[in-house]
Structures are given as structure tokens and as C-alpha cells.
Structure 1
Amino acid sequence: MNFKDLGINENTINLLNKRGIKQPTDIQKESIVYIKNGKDVIAEAQTGTGKTLAFLLPIFENISPKTNSIQALILTPTRELAIQITEEAMKLKESKDINILAAYGGKDIGSQLNKLKGNIQLIIATPGRLLDHIKRKTVDLSKLKTFVLDEADQMLLMGFKNEVEAIIKETSKKRQTLCFSATMNPQVKKLSYRYMKDPVFITIQKEEVTLDNIKQQVVETTDRRKQDSLCKVLDEDNPFMAIIFCRTKRRADDLEVGLYKRGYNCAKIHSDVPQAKRERIMKSFRNADIQYLIATDVAARGLDISGVDNIYNYDIPETVESYIHRIGRTGRAGEKGYTCVFIDPKNKKALEEIENVIGFKIGRRALED
């Protein structure tokens, strides 16, 4: 099955081909036709499966540039994800020139207000900023055709349930609703069924990211010696691009200072870093101008960055799912990946849980003193 079989127009297919996207992914094959035909869809799919294009491509097919109203809204929990989806949407503009507004906190509301005076057909937003616009009466969602709730599980985890429901109340009852989520927990299902009409349920099997293409190792250390241990590993590996995960913002701050003093090319992202700066850092990292991105889980949620060779878990994640999610950012598309987790004695139980779920004992990496 190709994009033409899914009803995608020739101009868009040519654009995708130029970017090296020749064949639809599983989530795209399963969902595009339903979405294009106006069906409500609940899709369970991980980051990195191509879900953004799964909803953007049919939205672009269905939007009319001549209609002066907001026809599609994509709601996402984090600014980073809103930026990433906006970048994808902008790449499709060559095939159909529609007006797109990105509305998220940290971005100047004045420029957003000015843009809203124009003819906007697609909005990509975070809940807080969109509600701000709704209260100011600068956004009218009454003629909305398609509403996308992206990363629904994370949206609820971050406490946005009331905001999401307030936004839905502003939309047309005739709208099409699409819900994309990495996990289909009971809260997501409850929210979805409450606001959807006879939805099609699509589940894309999780890739076995932990086993096939990714070499996993453990470095046993102490919290005091952890930074030295990390630096030894970085010096030995010298990866082209790597993400280093920390448990908290404070840990990320301290690690950035420590690595920077030692001469490493690094930068951190977390929710306290100003938005404009985060955008610059992400652009630099994608362009490989920064070698090491230090991140917290929330800041990195949804970021799909190609070319990441190595993932370093400076702090062991709080859940097995989070571990799998983190390390799944390498070893993509058949490429080999490497991941290393640094543990101190109090992390032994958490490591055992991970090993139980993935079904084997992770190899230990010895460091020379």
C-alpha cells in the first residue's frame, strides 16, 4: 500500500518523496483513509511511528484554503510537541497553501493576536494558551471540522483534563474527533468515548525497541561518582549525537554546569528554560551543532529526533515504561543504537524491575579507574 492508495494527492506525495518518505508507516496505513472520510479515530501509537503525518496528511486533504474559518485544531500537551507538529505542517504547505497558527505559552501573544486577524484554517496549540485566546474571543471554534487530541495520556497525566473539556465545549458538535495516545489507559478511553461518535479503534503494536537494535549496558557507580563515571563513558564513546536523561530539573541544571566546565558541547532543556531558548537549543541539536542534549522526561516527551546514536540514563527512570520510551529514541529504522544507565546502590530494585519486564539481565560495563 502506498500514499496514492490512501488518497493522498500527487503534489503532497512528491513533497514526501523529496524528503525520503516513500512508504506509509503502519499507523498511516491504518488511519489515513478513516480520517480522510471523516470518521472518529482512537489510535494507540508510540512516538516515532509516524503518527503526526497520520493526522496531518488527511487534514491537509480535507481543509479548504478558501474557507475563512478554523477548520482543524491539534491540541498537544507540551510546547516542544506543538513546535514539532508545526514544523511538519509547514513542510506540507507547499502542497496546499493554508494559514497555520502555532499557539503555545512562551510565544508572544501579540503576534499570535495579529495573525488571528488573518484567515487561519489550522491551529496547533497547547491547552493553556488556546483557552487564553478563547477567553479573549480571538479564536472561534464553532465551525471546527476536525479536532485532534495528541499525546492524550500525557495530557491527562499533566492535569489538563478540565482544560481539554472546556476547549471541546467550544467546538461544533458535528466535528470529527481524533485521539492519539501512546497508551490507552482507562482515563483516555473514558475521555475519548465521552466526546466521540462510534470511533474506529486502531492499535499499532509497540516495537520491540529494547531487544533487537539497541545494545544496553549498566554502569554501577555512586551518586557522588556518577558525573565522573558519565564523563569516562562519554570520552570512550564520543557519539555523534546523544541525549542524557535526568530525573529532575535541578539534576539537569547541575549536570549541564558540570559538563560545560569540563569542556563538553552540551545544553539542557526542561520546562523552566525559556521557550525561545528551548527552540534555539532544539534547532542546534537537530543540526548536530550540539553533541549532548541534557533533558528531563517531560521536556523530551514527543521529540522525534533522527540521528541520535546513544541514550544515557544519568538517572534511572521512575517506571519501566519511561525507560523503554527513553531508549526507544535510538535504534530507529533498523539502525544500531546504544544505551547506558548509571545506577547507585539504591537503584538496584528499579533496575531489577526493568530487567524483569524486558526479560534479561542487562550487561554491566566496567570503567577503568
Structure 2
Amino acid sequence: MDVFKFLSKSSKRTAVPPLQKLPSAGPVTNPQLFGHESDGQQAEQEKRSRKRKRGQVLEDKAAQLPAEIDFFGGVPQVGGKKRQSKVDREAHTDGEAAPLPVYGTTVELENGSDDSPEPYDEDECKRILRSHKLKIVVLEDFAQKSGEVPKKKLKKRKKEEELSGKEKKKEGKSQLFPPPLTSFAQLTTRYGINRRLADNVKEQGYKMPTEVQLGALPLLLGGKQQKSLPHASVLAADVDLLTVAPTGSGKTIAFLIPIIDSLLSKSESKGEPSEGPRAVVIAPTRELASQIVNEARKLSKGTGIKAALMKKGMEVIERAQDDTPQEHLTSSEDEEDGASDSGEDWKMVRRTKPKRRQAERVKAAILVATPLALLNAIKHSNGTISSLPSIRHLVLDEADVLLDPLFRDQTLSIWNACTNPHLCVGLWSATMGSNIDALTLSTLNTRWATLSSSRSNTPLPPRPPLLRLVVGLKDSALPTITHKLIYAATEQGKLLGLRQLLHPTSLPSNPNTPSLRPPFLIFTQTIPRAMALHSELRYDIPPEAGGSSRIAVLHASLGSAARASTLARFRAGDIWVLITTDLLSRGLDFRGLNGVVNYDVPTSAAAYVHRVGRTGRAGREGGVAVTFYTSEDVPHVRGVANVIRASEEMGGGGGGGGKGSGSGVEKWLLDALPVPSRRDKQRLKRRGVEARRAGAEGKKGGGGNVRISTKSGYERRLEGRKRGARMGSARRKGEEGRVKEAMSESEFEGFDA
């Protein structure tokens, strides 16, 4: 019995706090990613919204339309008669929602006369795009440089270049304001996509597009628009798009729909290959690549377009018999050759008599792979990389990681291997620095110069322009998440705080503050720390609730089958708490994930944005992000605090963690945190907190502060003395076998940092 609860118990009956709104329960705010409400629920909500007081005037029917239909408001009227375009009347006759007229189309009045004024001009589209916080910028329009300039005198030419440079600095980057996509039904009526693809989109329950789809789909499908649109020279052809959009906003659907539609239209034309990859999607992890393949198969069902995941042993190019990388050799073939596992004879046999198994050739039109897997598939045994002339679409998902020094060489090698002059490139991520823009532009210029030199006799097609689409604020977390930054002082304090989240003993003081409930993710800095934390929490859930089967660990050291099985169990709800590293921090979509716990502080602000983006996806509210930090993290935590503060201000909480749900970062704390230098940021991003790395405690001493263990320092010292006495006794007797036995008999006390 808790004495403090008994003494503080009041005679008055306390009000029961309202049920918490969780991402895993209840209707969703955005129906795109997680289905939609039933017709009965929608009708009930419409009845409630139509309730009015006695004597209240009936509202206009146009005001009662759903948001996805009445997106722009009422249509302008002339002379008391409603103007309606011909496209609108045809859509109404089909029984579908009328699409909004595209500016540049002629409008026909009811009396039969034609009128040229545009019902939704560029100013109206500009207002709508800005209201949804969409900004589309032309980073480089290569069409302006394609024409030949006559030779002039050097002085005049220098003066003109100086004047043009000054004008460019004043004007800045030119912006685009294409007609936004207000409904997925407009993909057929306005852009004329494949009918089967449109049916698949409708079957998946996609009705109202999110902001990134509202702005990206008109750009990627712009070649099917009318030539009379503003910026027709930019939108009439294919474009290279660099997109920055929040996590969980539907970026995968935004780049898959145009790719599948383009492959379907190109397959009907002559001269296009019917087999082999024509679109490549690069993802940093195998889990994210598998998720993209599943979405692509749903959208391409019944169209004849296949999507495949790159696996070990698959081939993309034709190889000679003697051109076999070591990945294709099996142990059984080595045994047949008489090779052993040691000595130079094994190396000589492997070099002189390479035998390869029958590899599977990729026949799917869409190939999704990680950088290293695809690079090994197109690399020859002599180190050269084969070209991929059939690739017309290249997508870099999580482009900031793929162009990071860890994956940059692999990604650029694949990019340069795509030698098709009609290649369209797309870079997508939730966080993207300004260096990515410069790197993308330089890579495009280098690749185009290489193509021009190799094809001196044949003229190249016009270069597609490079556009950038930014949704909301760059490098910002979702405002629908409640952020909590908790100081735990030491590693033991973090472990105690995590156990309090698993076993809450009291209700929150503020009933409006969401609390963390399973299922949720726990992120650590390294793999040994993830394994040690799993060992500590393995039996914290009682057997009545499932016991140790409800907590699991997932990291890169596990096999692909074990990783896939653990991830499937977590998606199915069999696992409630999943401990992992940054392996699952990007791109993965978990339905109904209630929260995220940063047991170790992320190595950068971008890493924090991606970690907490696993919850609160597709506009869902109620997600919780808890971040523990200790005295070792104080010099590095300011970046995370700035992201939390910006998210709170964007959500209207004013320091309330989004939606006014409690304070995440106070102003005094933000002012007191030290500002890290640029060098410190780079070191932290590259190596993390040094005190938590493997072997750090042996170098600096005092490793008990960074060890994940519930034992006190006194208990560990006693055990260390006993273990040292046993090992010294065995060493004195000269029994080396007993030394190992004494070490193995020591009680497990967690992995070192």
C-alpha cells in the first residue's frame, strides 16, 4: 500500500480525466495513409456540423461542401450566373467531383458565349500555395543556356556578364506557382494518367492529397498539362526535382505515381525495352527499400509494371563467364574445386577458377535497392562500373544521407552510371542542407558534360530544369507531436526514467498532457548499448501481459531474416517496445506508433527530426517524443532544443509541445545551453558522444557513468575484485583454461559503452 497516496487522498470525488487521444486509436485527421472513416461516421459528423440555433439562416450549399471539393471556395459569377467550364460539366455528368479549372483554359458561360477570363489565375494559385506553406523555386533553368550566343568583343561581353550577375543577385531564384492538385480524382481528368493506375490509387483510399503531393504531382506530371500555362517552358517537359517535406507526409506516393504512369505511357511507344529496370529507387536501409517495394506493388497492380527489391545474387547487367565478383561464389563450389579456407592455395584457386552460380536477372521495371547492393551488381571484377542506359528515372530517397560522406561515393557512382540523356532525377528527404543543392547541380553539370563529349555527333535533348520544392519550414519537426526534454543527470537516471515510462505510478498533473504508451520505439547510439538495454528491460513486462516476448531489439548486426521477422512482429502488434539504433530512424511508416524515446541524444538536429517522425504521421495527433540527456550531453543538446522550440511555436503551443500540451523546452533553458562549435557538431555527427562509444571507458576511466546497468559502483567493484582474485589464482597455477572458465562464470552486468 502506498502511504503517500493514502495520506493525499481527498474526501471529494475527483473528476475522471478525459481519455487520451492516441495515434493508435480513434479516427485519423488525414485519411491518406491510414484508410478513411466509414460513410456512417462521415454522415454523423455532417449532421453535427449542420446543427444550428433557432432562427439561424441556412448556409449556402457551397459552404457545406467537403474540403477536398470546395478547396478554393466559390466560383466567381458574372451577371448572377455561375460560370462553369466545359471540363467541369463533363465531370459532373460522370457523377464525379468537378475538377478545378486550370488557369489558361477558356471558360464557357451558360448562354453559350465563350469568355477568356481565367477563374483561377496565377495570383489565386499563388495565394493557395502560400497558405499551404509551399515554395517552388527554379534552381537552374538549363533551357536558357541551350541557345548559341553570337561572339562579341570581350569588353562588351564582360560588361553584360557583370550586369546580368547583379540582376540575378537582386532577383534571386525565380518561383513557380503551378495549379495545385486538390483531389486525386484530378489525376485522370486533368493529367490523364493511366486508368488502371487511377483505380489503384482510389482502391488504396487516397482522396485528398497532402501538401507535398499537392505541390509535387503537378510538377512531375506537368508534361501532360496545357502549353498555355504560365512557365510552360519549365512545366511542359520532365523536371529534376529536389523536395524537402516533413516526415509522414506521403513522399513515397508522390514520386511513385509519376514513375508508374511514365513507364506505362513509354511501354506503349515503340523502341522502349520491355524487360529490365527502367526506374531505380535508392534507399539507405533495406527496411525502407522493402517498404517502397510494397507501396509500388500496390499502385502497379494489374498494370504489368513490376517492382523488385535488390537482393544478393541478383544481376542487372550481362556478365561474361570469367567476370564474376566474389559475392556470387558459394561454399559448395569452393569445395568442389578442392579449395580450403586457409593458405594461399585457396586464394589462387579462387582467382584462377572462378565458378559462378546461375544468378537471377532483374526483369522488373522498378528496381529498389541500397547503394552498396546495386553498386556490387553493376561492378565488374576488374573494378570498372557498367553503364545503365535503360534507366529513365532515378530517385534518391533520404537524399541527405545518400549524399553524406558515408554513402556519397556509392550514390554518385550509380548516378553517373545512368547514361540515358532523358534521365529524370528526384531527391527526397525531410531534412536537406544547402550543400545538397550545390552537390546536385555540380553532379548534373558533370554528367551532362560527359554525355556531350561522348555523343559529339548526335545532338542531345534539352536539359530538364532543376526545381526545389519546400513544404513548411526546412529541418523542422512535426507540430502534432508532444516533445519532452528530460534531464536525467547519469545513465542510471535515464534507466530509472525509462522504467517510470514503462510503469507509470501516477497520473500526469496536467490531464491535457499526453503520456507515453506502448507501442513505442527506443533509440540508442550504438549496437552494444541497444543490446545491453534490451537485457536490462527484458523482464520488465509481467508474464501476464506477454513477458519478454513484448520487448525486442533490432540492429544492423542481425541477419536479414531476423530483422524482417522482428519488424513484422512489431507491425503486427506482437512487440510493444522495440529497442533499435538509427537503422529505423528514416522513412519507415509504422501505423499507430504512440511514441518515440531517445534514450541517447541524437547526433544532430536532422537525426532528431527523423527519429521523432516515426510517430504522428499523416497528421495524427497524440504522439509523444521523450528525449533523455545527461551531463555528457549538455554541450550538444542545444540543436535538439532549438528544433523542439520551433515545433512548439509552429504548433501554436508557445512552449507547449504542440497543441498546447505542456512545456517541452523553456526559454531559460534554451538560453542557458551552450552553443556548440561547427567542429563539435561535425565530430558529434560522425562519432556521437565519445563517452558512450565502445572502449571509451577503458581509456578515460570512470566508465560506470556510461554503463547501462542497475548495479551500483560498490557492487561492481566487489565483483571485480572477486573476478580478479579468481583469475590471479588460476594464472599462478598456470591453468590457462581455468582463466577463460572464470571469466565465463562471472555474472553478466551489461555491455560496456
TM exceeds 0.5?
yes
- Give yes or no for the alignment of 1:257 onto 2:504: no
Select the residue among 361, 364, 380 that pairs with 1:116: 361
- Give yes or no for the alignment of 1:194 onto 2:442: yes
Select the residue among 159, 170, 179 that pairs with 2:406: 159
CA distance in 2, matches of 1:225, 1:73: 46
Deviations 1:162-183 (A, max 9, x none): 2222212322132111122333
Tell me if structure 2 keeps the 8 A contact 1:106–1:276.
Answer: no
Tell me if structure 2 keeps the 8 A contact 1:12–1:92.
Answer: yes
CA distance in 1, matches of 2:314, 2:562: 11
Select the residue among 499, 506, 529 that pairs with 1:231: 499
Partner of 1:203: 470
Tell me if structure 1 keeps the 8 A contact 2:184–2:206.
Answer: no
CA distance in 1, matches of 2:278, 2:601: 43
- Per the TM alignment, residue 193 of structure 1 is displaced from its structure 2 partner at its CA by 1.4
Select the residue among 170, 176, 185 that pairs with 1:4: 185
Tell me: CA distance 1:154–1:219, structure 2 relative to 1, closer, same or farther (3 Å). Answer: same
Select the residue among 198, 207, 214 that pairs with 1:22: 207
Q: Normalising to structure 1: TM-score of the pair?
A: 0.87
CA distance in 1, matches of 2:499, 2:373: 40
Partner of 1:367: none
Partner of 2:569: 284
Deviations 1:14-47 (A, max 9, x none): 4334433222222112122332333221112233
SS across alignment from 2:492: coil
Tell me: CA distance 1:160–1:210, structure 2 relative to 1, closer, same or farther (3 Å). Answer: closer
Matching residue's letter, 2:277:
I
Aligned residues: 362
Tell me: CA distance 1:330–1:238, structure 2 relative to 1, closer, same or farther (3 Å). Answer: closer
Moved more, 131-140 or 48-57: 131-140
Structure 2 residues without counterparts, runs of 5 or longer = 1-181, 224-237, 269-273, 316-326, 329-356, 445-463, 505-514, 541-546, 646-654, 656-662, 667-753
- Highest CA radius of gyration, 1 or 2? 2
CA distance in 1, matches of 2:488, 2:439: 43
- Give yes or no for the alignment of 1:241 onto 2:519: yes
Matching residue's letter, 2:488:
E
Tell me: CA distance 1:261–1:132, structure 2 relative to 1, closer, same or farther (3 Å). Answer: same
Higher strand share: 1
Select the residue among 287, 298, 312 that pairs with 2:597: 312
Moved more, 182-191 or 49-58: 182-191
Tell me: CA distance 1:50–1:347, structure 2 relative to 1, closer, same or farther (3 Å). Answer: same
Select the residue among 377, 391, 394 that pairs with 1:133: 377
Q: Normalising to structure 2: TM-score of the pair?
A: 0.44
Taking the TM superposition and a 5 Å limit, the aligned residue runs for 1:327-346 are 327-332=612-617, 333-346=619-632
Tell me: CA distance 1:113–1:30, structure 2 relative to 1, closer, same or farther (3 Å). Answer: farther
Moved more, 80-89 or 336-345: 336-345
Tell me: CA distance 1:174–1:107, structure 2 relative to 1, closer, same or farther (3 Å). Answer: closer
Deviations 1:133-185 (A, max 9, x none): 11259987212111112211111225222222221232213211112233332
CA distance in 1, matches of 2:581, 2:263: 36
Partner of 2:585: 300
Tell me if structure 2 keeps the 8 A contact 1:216–1:362.
Answer: yes
Matching residue's letter, 1:3:
F
- Per the TM alignment, residue 347 of structure 1 is displaced from its structure 2 partner at its CA by 2.7
CA distance in 2, matches of 1:107, 1:142: 18
CA distance in 2, matches of 1:106, 1:268: 28
Matching residue's letter, 2:640:
I
Partner of 2:248: 48
Matching residue's letter, 1:259:
L
SS across alignment from 2:206: coil
Partner of 1:100: 307
Matching residue's letter, 2:524:
C
CA distance in 2, matches of 1:113, 1:21: 42
CA distance in 1, matches of 2:584, 2:642: 28
Tell me if structure 2 keeps the 8 A contact 1:105–1:126.
Answer: no
Moved more, 284-293 or 61-70: 61-70
- Per the TM alignment, residue 235 of structure 1 is displaced from its structure 2 partner at its CA by 1.7
Tell me: CA distance 1:295–1:158, structure 2 relative to 1, closer, same or farther (3 Å). Answer: farther
- Give yes or no for the alignment of 1:91 onto 2:298: yes
Matching residue's letter, 2:378:
I
Matching residue's letter, 2:248:
G
Tell me if structure 1 keeps the 8 A contact 2:400–2:431.
Answer: yes
C-alpha RMSD of the superposition = 3.0
Matching residue's letter, 1:202:
L
CA distance in 1, matches of 2:628, 2:281: 37
Partner of 1:326: 611
Partner of 2:544: none
Matching residue's letter, 1:230:
L
Matching residue's letter, 1:39:
V
Deviations 1:264-307 (A, max 9, x none): 51222222222221111111111111111112124432212121
Partner of 2:31: none
SS across alignment from 1:293: strand
Deviations 1:193-232 (A, max 9, x none): 1344421221112496454442525252521343233122
Tell me if structure 2 keeps the 8 A contact 1:45–1:203.
Answer: yes
- Per the TM alignment, residue 124 of structure 1 is displaced from its structure 2 partner at its CA by 0.6
CA distance in 1, matches of 2:244, 2:665: 32
- Per the TM alignment, residue 95 of structure 1 is displaced from its structure 2 partner at its CA by 4.3
SS across alignment from 1:166: helix
- Per the TM alignment, residue 240 of structure 1 is displaced from its structure 2 partner at its CA by 3.3
Tell me if structure 1 keeps the 8 A contact 2:245–2:470.
Answer: yes
Matching residue's letter, 1:33:
P
CA distance in 2, matches of 1:48, 1:113: 40
- Give yes or no for the alignment of 1:182 onto 2:430: yes
Taking the TM superposition and a 5 Å limit, the aligned residue runs for 1:264-279 are 264=548, 265-279=550-564
